[in-house]
């Protein structure tokens, strides 16, 4: 093809047209999948989770190679946790079957969103794909993913592996799709599509705002900026270890990482010592100035240091740090717009501020979150319940992690919070969800509610199947072929009628049997045709 012809063919509608076809296919897939029973759904989700688990290491490596962010070993852990472990967790809940609540004369039917449109970030690319796909699968939704362009390769690969596995396990075709060449206008086009059921946005604030203004239901979350208050009742060695473990995890790329340690004056020096022995380098005042310039010299956070190791960052300001340095501690004297280092830092540079007492720490924590991170996360290291409670009540964070690494703890690892990579920042953070986002957010329930008058008897729903009846389900696998009945020669070859949806779990077997019968009949006929 000559350049001129190619240029004419490359219209503006090429990308949006292709995306519309993806949406149409997803709509078909979602319609069938919404009638699958739980056993079938779990089989499909398990298959997707298993293939994800099997590629956890390989894709962790691919992600770091592609983006330059984070630590392979840590990404592998995240990938493992968001595949097999997450599936096991979700499999305990039932998002597919009717709930019969005789005591309130109600039947509740799960109704999936339909199409989930999910944006995934460059910072946690593979585990975000895993997590969002599994949430969609266990709730009987179709999902279309739009990966961050910086992490396109590994994200597309992850999505394709899971799609193949899900379809191999019986999912309707097109249940998981991925936009391979995402760009802003295209994403906005899909976001606005009336076919989208819900948008799961992560990424930068503009993207989240755009999701919310699309006119479609959206779950978007804001950025974090977690304070970590350490008071005089805390076990300082434990606190230091946990803070370092958290701040160095995947080079601090999770939005739940600690931003500034608020140390009560009476224990501040001892805490500093403990942090040092846990692997922190305490920056000298001139190094702090250099860090401030490196991280925020251009006004916004410098993505060149995003997810880089402490040693690499040290090298950038001319420091030759020992290779086992995990975090750089930058002591600051205030929180506020006039101290850029009190903003969110997705790299292992941790602010350190002395506060006169716990109450002062709470005030500074509020100030930190006022700056950014509303509705997100906070941590406290303390043995003193009243302080913990006062902190939780004062700080505008919707999860407060106690005596645990915040990166992991707020994301549901090592605490009993729900494991998640979409951390609802709630009304504080202009989000529709305030919890850690989970499958429950991708499904609504139809409530069949009886008259409460005891004279109206509640029906017996115990043996009924809500998803039975109606025509057989279209699964997108093969375009049917059949002879009619009036055509000559047709009497010898008759396709069995497609069976209506019964207990959906048995359909696979019936379809296979029907195919088998058809093949036998055809073979026989082929022989007869020539005689």
In the window 167-196, what residues touch another protein (CB under 8 A)?
173-174, 177
When asked if residue 1 is in the footprint of another protein (CB under 8 A), the reply is: yes
φ/ψ region of 307 (left if φ > 0, alpha if ψ in -120 to 50, else beta) reads: left
When asked if residue 393 is in the footprint of another protein (CB under 8 A), the reply is: no
Q: What are phi and psi of 392, to 5 degrees?
A: -60, -35
Choose one: 6-14, 317-325, 359-367, 442-450; the region binding another protein (CB under 8 A).
Answer: 6-14
Full strand arrangement of the beta sheet holding 198-201:
176-178, 142-147, 115-120, 198-201, 218-220
Selected binder of another protein within 149, 297, 322, 489 (CB under 8 A): 489
When asked if residue 123 is in the footprint of another protein (CB under 8 A), the reply is: no
Report how far residue 88's alpha carbon sits from residue 291's, in angstroms, rounded to the nearest whole number.
42
Selected binder of another protein within 276, 474, 510, 514 (CB under 8 A): 474
Contact 96, 43 (CB under 8 A): no
Q: Which is nearer to another protein, 28 or 428 (CB)?
A: 28
Ordered DSSP codes for 254-294: STTSEEEEEEEHHHHHHHHHHHHHTTEEE--HHHHHHHHHH
Choose one: 57-65, 73-81, 100-108, 523-531; the region binding another protein (CB under 8 A).
Answer: 523-531
When asked if residue 493 is in the footprint of another protein (CB under 8 A), the reply is: yes
When asked if residue 39 is in the footprint of another protein (CB under 8 A), the reply is: no
Rounded to a whole number of angstroms, the minimum distance from the CB of residue 517 to another protein is 14
Report how far residue 256's alpha carbon sits from residue 241's, in angstroms, rounded to the nearest whole number.
17
Choose one: 18-26, 51-59, 387-395, 440-448; the region binding another protein (CB under 8 A).
Answer: 18-26
Size of the chain, expressed as the number of residues it contains: 531
Which x/- pattern over 453-472 shows residues binding another protein (rule: CB under 8 A)? -----------------xxx
Which x/- pattern over 336-375 shows residues binding another protein (rule: CB under 8 A)? ----------------------------------------
C-alpha dist (Å) from residue 11 to 6, 181, 188, 466: 9, 15, 18, 46
Residue 406 is a catalytic residue: no
Q: Point out which residues pair with 262 in neighbouring strands.
A: 229, 353
Selected binder of another protein within 286, 320, 486, 509 (CB under 8 A): 486
When asked if residue 164 is in the footprint of another protein (CB under 8 A), the reply is: no
Rounded to a whole number of angstroms, the minimum distance from the CB of residue 3 to another protein is 9
Rounded to a whole number of angstroms, the minimum distance from the CB of residue 503 to another protein is 17
Cα dihedral sign for 165, 167, 173, 176? negative
Report how far residue 462's alpha carbon sits from residue 98's, in angstroms, rounded to the nearest whole number.
10
End-to-end CA distance of the chain: 51
Q: Which is nearer to another protein, 177 or 408 (CB)?
A: 177
336-340, long-range: CB within 8 Å, 24+ apart, which pairs? Answer: 336/367, 336/371, 337/371, 340/292, 340/295, 340/296
Count of alpha carbons within 13 Å of 429, Cβ hemisphere only?
Answer: 31
Of residues 345, 382, 409, the one with CA closest to residue 235: 382
Q: Which is nearer to another protein, 456 or 516 (CB)?
A: 516
The DSSP letter of residue 301 is -
C-alpha dist (Å) from residue 467 to 33, 38, 237, 423, 463: 11, 11, 56, 33, 12
When asked if residue 65 is in the footprint of another protein (CB under 8 A), the reply is: no
Chain mean position to CA 375:
18
Selected binder of another protein within 181, 446, 500, 503 (CB under 8 A): 500
Choose one: 92-100, 245-253, 343-351, 522-530; the region binding another protein (CB under 8 A).
Answer: 522-530
Rounded to a whole number of angstroms, the minimum distance from the CB of residue 507 to another protein is 11
Rounded to a whole number of angstroms, the minimum distance from the CB of residue 498 to another protein is 5
Residue in 96, 127, 154, 255 annotated catalytic: 255
Cα dihedral sign for 301, 307, 312, 314? positive
Q: Which is nearer to another protein, 99 or 519 (CB)?
A: 519
Catalytic residues: 255
Interface residues with another protein (CB under 8 A) are: 1-2, 4-5, 8-9, 11-14, 17-18, 21-22, 24-25, 27-29, 31, 173-174, 177, 470-490, 493, 497-498, 500, 522, 525-526, 529-530
């Amino acid at each position: 093809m000559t350049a001129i012809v190619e240029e004419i063919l490359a219209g503006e509608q090429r990308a949006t047209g292709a995306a519309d076809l993806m949406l149409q296919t997803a709509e078909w897939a979602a319609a069938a999948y919404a009638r699958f029973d739980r056993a079938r759904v779990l089989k499909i989700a398990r298959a997707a989770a298993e293939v994800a688990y099997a590629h956890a290491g390989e894709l962790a490596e691919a992600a770091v190679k592609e983006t330059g962010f984070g630590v392979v070993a840590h990404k592998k852990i995240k990938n493992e946790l968001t595949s097999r472990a997450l599936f096991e967790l979700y499999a305990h809940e039932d998002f597919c079957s009717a709930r019969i609540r005789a005591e309130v004369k109600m039947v509740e039917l799960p109704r999936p969103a339909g199409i989930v449109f999910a944006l995934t970030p460059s910072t946690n690319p593979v585990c975000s794909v895993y997590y969002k796909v599994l949430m969609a699968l266990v709730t009987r939704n179709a999902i279309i993913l739009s990966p961050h362009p910086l992490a396109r390769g590994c994200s597309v690969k992850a999505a394709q592996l899971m799609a193949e596995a899900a379809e191999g396990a019986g999912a309707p075709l097109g249940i998981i799709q991925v936009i391979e060449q995402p760009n802003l206008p295209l994403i906005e086009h899909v976001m606005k599509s009336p076919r989208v059921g819900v948008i799961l946005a992560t990424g930068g604030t503009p993207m989240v705002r755009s999701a919310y203004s699309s006119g479609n239901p959206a779950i978007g979350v804001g950025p974090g900026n977690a304070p970590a208050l350490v008071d005089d009742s805390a076990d300082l060695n434990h606190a230091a270890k946990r803070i370092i473990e958290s701040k160095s995890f995947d080079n601090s790329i999770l939005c739940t990482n600690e931003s500034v340690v608020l140390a009560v004056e009476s224990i501040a020096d001892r805490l500093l010592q403990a942090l040092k022995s846990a692997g922190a380098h305490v920056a000298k005042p001139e190094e702090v100035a250099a860090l401030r310039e490196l991280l925020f010299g251009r006004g916004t956070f410098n993505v060149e240091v995003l997810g880089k190791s402490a040693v690499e960052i040290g090298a950038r300001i001319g420091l030759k740090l020992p290779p086992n340095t995990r975090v750089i501690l930058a002591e600051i004297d205030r929180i506020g717009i006039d101290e850029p280092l009190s903003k969110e830092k997705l790299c292992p540079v941790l602010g350190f501020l002395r506060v006169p007492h716990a109450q002062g720490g709470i005030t500074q924590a509020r100030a930190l979150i006022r700056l950014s991170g509303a509705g997100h996360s906070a941590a406290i290291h303390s043995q003193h319940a009243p302080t913990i409670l006062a902190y939780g009540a004062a700080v505008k964070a919707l999860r407060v992690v106690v005596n645990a690494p915040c990166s992991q703890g707020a994301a549901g690892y090592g605490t009993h919070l729900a494991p998640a990579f979409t951390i609802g920042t709630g009304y504080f953070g202009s989000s529709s969800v305030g919890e850690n986002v989970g499958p429950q957010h991708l499904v609504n329930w139809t409530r069949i509610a009886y008259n409460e008058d005891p004279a109206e008897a509640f029906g017996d729903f115990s043996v009924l199947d809500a998803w039975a009846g109606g025509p057989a389900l279209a699964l997108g696998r093969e375009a049917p072929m059949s002879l009619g009945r009036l055509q000559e020669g047709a009497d010898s070859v008759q396709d069995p009628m497609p069976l209506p949806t019964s207990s959906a779990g048995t359909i696979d077997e019936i379809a296979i049997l029907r195919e088998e019968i058809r093949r036998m009949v055809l073979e026989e006929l082929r022989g007869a045709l020539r005689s």
